[in-house]
Every structure is written in structure tokens, then in C-alpha cells.
């Protein structure tokens, strides 16, 4: 499928000091999920090695933490800085920005809204995994999404854009949050069913794609219920001692990860099964290997993709967004600063 930007999408964003300021509206206006998926796939096929990506670092603050995610690829480099503030009520839990540098001179080229970027690249990575792991038998797929927050919404809408979805099942903790998300998805014309968390089994057994997008520290459902050939995306857990899927599912599944190094640092969905002996590190397949055809064939059981989010993904998608939003902005002022004066 070819994705052509509209005339409106070619309107250049605001600039400041020679940098494009790319808002959440700019991200949504210029770059589809499908375009982000294609950019990620092209980067992996072009030689990007996620195992060489810089690790995400965390800095504790007075009310939460800062997450710092740098990466470099070719003539582009960038860094995403996010604040995570668990006590926020009137403000989002996660806030931040991505700073993109380009060219051999490493010129600051753009500042991209960090939340909009995250809410685009995360489901795009998941959709890329589904593209290569799902059984392509020509029939519409049944989608189940656990969670009702921003990533659950983003994953549901993303899968509707890039997959042939027959219906959507939503699983959440409260009727109110389920209803809000169900109403939005229903506006796409797709049938929607809702389940409270204790009713999750009804949403799992017939699902072809299951997206786990929660902050739950413990498994969301019995892994024995997942049918062979189904794809489970587990992206909500980012700590080595928390998980969304159980040992039963992992023991039955082909497990695909963003990178072995990042997964073993951060992903309880993989770290805990390895510790309990139901999974061996050498059994892990990487998304790079699956996309490029270098991995061993996917097995007949369920397929689990574990994602925690990596800096290279932000860089690739931010670069695609910058290009779609108008590319290189106006040249900066001839007045230049001396790095020795920077504080």
C-alpha cells in the first residue's frame, strides 16, 4: 500500500532557532502508523542492529524519574527525555520531548512532542512484529486489547489501521474506562465487546491478536487459553520483576524480543520465565532476525512479542515524522554560540 501525504500534511511546522517544532497534531497529521511500520522495517533491513543501541537510563527525581533514551543511525542522532510522575492527576503520567540532530555537523533539526512520538512508535513496533508473526490465512482477525490507557487506545487504533480486524474485545478494570474506549473504537465501524478483568478468559480463547497494554505487575490471563498461531504483544511491563504473561504461555510459545540485551535488563515477561526454567536465553528470537529472515522458523504454538521500547525506534520514527512534516527547516541564524559559554 502506498501512503501519500495530503497537501495539508506538507505544511511546514513552526520553527525556533532553526529547529522545527513538531507538535502532537503535526505527528498525527503527517505520519500514519503504516508509514511508521514501514520506516522501522526499512531500518532493520538496512542494517540497523538493535543490540548495539544505547541502553535507556533512569534518573530519580523528587516526584518520580527521568527516562533518557539516546540513539544514532547514519547521519541522524537523537535523544528522548521523558518525565514519569506517578502522583500526577491533572497532568499525564509521562511527559517529554525528542530532540533530533542531523547531518555530519549534527545540527539540531527538530523537537518532536515526546508523548505523540511514543504513542506512534510503540504500536508501530508491535504492528511490525504482528506483520511477521501472524498467520496469514486470508481471513479477518479477532483483536483483544488489555488496558484502557493511552497505549491500549493507540494499539487498538493502530491494529485497525494496518490489519484486517473483524472485531475488537477490550478488557479493563472499570466499566467507565471500558465504555469510553469502546465508544471511540465503535466510531470506526468495528464491532466492540467489553470485558472486566475477571472475565478475561472470554476475550482470550478466540483472539488472533492479543495486545497487553497495562501496568499490571502480574499475569493478566491463563496462558493455556491462547490458541496456537495467535500473536500476543506484551508491552506494558518495563521492569525485570513485573510481567503481563505467565510461564504457561511462554512455555508454549515462540518468543520474539526487540533485543536480547534490553530484554534481559528490563523485561520481566522474559526474565522471570528464564529464572523459573521454562525458557532459555538461547531460545529467544529477535525482531531483527524475524524481519530479515535470519531467525529460525516460528513454531506452531502461540507467538509472543515482548517490547519495552528502545531508543532506535524513537529515532527512526522521529526522522520519518520530520521528513513528512516538511523536512529540513530554514537554516539557523548566522549568529552562532560558543559551546564554552553553554551552562
Which of 56-60, 189-193, 258-262, 334-338 has the least mean pLDDT?
A: 334-338
**% of the chain surpassing 90 pLDDT:** 84
Residues 197 and 165: their CA atoms lie apart, in Å, by 22
Domains of the chain: 8-118+312-327 (3.30.1780.10), 123-310 (3.40.50.720)
Judge whether 78 and 314 are in contact, CB under 8 Å: yes
pLDDT value of residue 328:
56
Backbone torsions φ then ψ of 178, nearest 5 degrees = -60, -45
* 266-312 pLDDT, tens digit each: 999 999 999 999 999 999 999 999 999 987 778 889 999 999 999 99
Residues 139 and 154: their CA atoms lie apart, in Å, by 23
Chain-centre distance for alpha carbon 132? 16
Give, rounded to a whole angstrom, the gap between the first and last alpha carbons of the chain: 48
Q: Looking at residues 23-44, what average pLDDT do you find? A: 97
Max CA separation in the chain (angstroms): 64
Total-model pTM: 0.90
Sheet of strand 165-172: strand arrangement? 192-196, 165-172, 141-146, 209-212, 231-234, 303-306, 254-257, 285-286
Q: Left if phi > 0, otherwise alpha if psi is -120 to 50, otherwise beta: which for 327?
A: left
Q: Looking at residues 220-236, what average pLDDT do you find? A: 97
Q: Indicate the length of the chain as a whole number.
A: 343
| 3 state SS for the chain | CCCCCCCHHHCCCEEECCEEEECHHHHHHHCCHHHHHHHHHHHHHCCCCHHHCCCCEEEECCCCEEEEEEEEECCEEEEEEEEECCCCCCCCCEEEEEEEEECCCCEEEEEEEHHHHHHHHHHHHHHHHHHHHCCCCCCCEEEEEECCCHHHHHHHHHHHHHCCEEEEEEEECCHHHHHHHHHHHHCCCCCEEEEEHHHCHHHHCCCCEEEECCCCCCCCCCHHHCCCCCEEEECCCCCCCCCCCCHHHHHHCEEEECCHHHHHHHCHHHHHHHHHCCCCHHHCEEHHHHHHCCCCCCCCCCEEEECCCCHHHHHHHHHHHHHHCCCCCCCCCCCCCCHHHCC
Chain-centre distance for alpha carbon 260? 17
C-alpha cell at 293: 529472515
Q: Looking at residues 77-101, what average pLDDT do you find? A: 94
- Using the structure block, give the residue that is written with the C-alpha cell 542522532: 77
Chain-centre distance for alpha carbon 129? 10
127: pLDDT strictly greater than 50: yes
Radius of gyration for the alpha carbons in the chain, expressed in angstroms and rounded: 20
Q: Categorize the per-residue pLDDT at 8 as very low, low, confident or very high, splitting at 50, 70 and 90.
A: very low
Q: Looking at residues 2-21, what average pLDDT do you find? A: 63
**Which is it for the CA torsion 130, 136, 140, 142, positive or negative?**
negative
Q: Looking at residues 81-87, what average pLDDT do you find? A: 94
* 143-178 pLDDT, tens digit each: 999 999 999 999 999 999 999 999 999 999 999 999
Amino acid at each position: 500500500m502506498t501512503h501519500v501525504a495530503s497537501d495539508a500534511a506538507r505544511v511546514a511546522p513552526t520553527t525556533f532557532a532553526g529547529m522545527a517544532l513538531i507538535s502532537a497534531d503535526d505527528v498525527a497529521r503527517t505520519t500514519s502508523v503504516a508509514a511508521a511500520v514501514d520506516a522501522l522495517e526499512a531500518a532493520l533491513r538496512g542494517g540497523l542492529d538493535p543490540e548495539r543501541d544505547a541502553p535507556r537510563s533512569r534518573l530519580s527525581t523528587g516526584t518520580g524519574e527521568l527516562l533518557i533514551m539516546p540513539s544514532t543511525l547514519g547521519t541522524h542522532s537523537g535523544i528522548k527525555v521523558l518525565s514519569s510522575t506517578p502522583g500526577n492527576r491533572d497532568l499525564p503520567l509521562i511527559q517529554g520531548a525528542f530532540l533530533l540532530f542531523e547531518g555530519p555537523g549534527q545540527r539540531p533539526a527538530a523537537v518532536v512532542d515526546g508523548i505523540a512520538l511514543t504513542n506512534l512508535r510503540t504500536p508501530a513496533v508491535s504492528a511490525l512484529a504482528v506483520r511477521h508473526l501472524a498467520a496469514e490465512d486470508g481471513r479477518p482477525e479477532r483483536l483483544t486489547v488489555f488496558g484502557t490507557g493511552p497505549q491500549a487506545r493507540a494499539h487498538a487504533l493502530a491494529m485497525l489501521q494496518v490489519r484486517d480486524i473483524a472485531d475488537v474485545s477490550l478488557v479493563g478494570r472499570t466499566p467507565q474506562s471500558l465504555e469510553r474506549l469502546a465508544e471511540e473504537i465503535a466510531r470506526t465501524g468495528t464491532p466492540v465487546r467489553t470485558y472486566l478483568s475477571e472475565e478475561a478468559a472470554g476475550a482470550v480463547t478466540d483472539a488472533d491478536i492479543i495486545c497487553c497494554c497495562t501496568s499490571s505487575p502480574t499475569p493478566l490471563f491463563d496462558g493455556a487459553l491462547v490458541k496456537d498461531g495467535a500473536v500476543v504483544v506484551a508491552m506494558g511491563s518495563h521492569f525485570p520483576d513485573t510481567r503481563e504473561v505467565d510461564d504457561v504461555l511462554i512455555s508454549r510459545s515462540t518468543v520474539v524480543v526487540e533485543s536480547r540485551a534490553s530484554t534481559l535488563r528490563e523485561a520481566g515477561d522474559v526474565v522471570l520465565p528464564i529464572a523459573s526454567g521454562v525458557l532459555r536465553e538461547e531460545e529467544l528470537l529477535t525482531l531483527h532476525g524475524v524481519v530479515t529472515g535470519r531467525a529460525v522458523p516460528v513454531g506452531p504454538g502461540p507467538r509472543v512479542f515482548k517490547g519495552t521500547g528502545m531508543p532506535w525506534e524513537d529515532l527512526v520514527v522521529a526522522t520519518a515524522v520530520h521528513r513528512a512534516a516538511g523536512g529540513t527547516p530554514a537554516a539557523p541564524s548566522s549568529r552562532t554560540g560558543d559551546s564554552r559559554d553553554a551552562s
